[in-house]
Amino acid sequence: MITSDVESRSDLHFVPLFGYELQMVFAKEHEFETKDFIEPSDLTNQTLLTYPVEKQRMDIYNLFLKPANLEPKKWKRVDNTATLLQMVSGGFGVAALPDWAVRTFEDQSLIATCKVGESGIQRHSYAAVRIADKDQPHIADFVQRVKQHHKR
Q: Are 18 and 147 in contact (CB under 8 A)?
A: yes
**pLDDT surpassing 80 at residue 150:** no
Show the domain range for 128: 2-149
Would you call 92 helix, strand, or coil by DSSP?
coil
CATH number at residue 142: 3.40.190.10
* Domains identified in the chain, total number: 1
Question: Please, what's the b/e burial string for 111-129 (b: 16 or more CB within 10 A of its CB; e: otherwise)?
Answer: bbbbbbbeeebebebbbbb
pLDDT digits over 76-107, tens only?
Answer: 999 999 999 999 999 999 999 999 999 888 88
Q: Cβ–Cβ contacts within 10 Å for residue 89, how many?
A: 18
pLDDT digits over 26-71, tens only?
Answer: 999 999 999 999 999 999 999 999 999 999 999 999 999 999 999 9
Whole-number Cα distances in Å, 107 to 89, 100, 102, 103? 13, 11, 9, 6
Q: Supply the pLDDT for residue 10.
A: 86
Q: Are 106 and 114 in contact (CB under 8 A)?
A: no
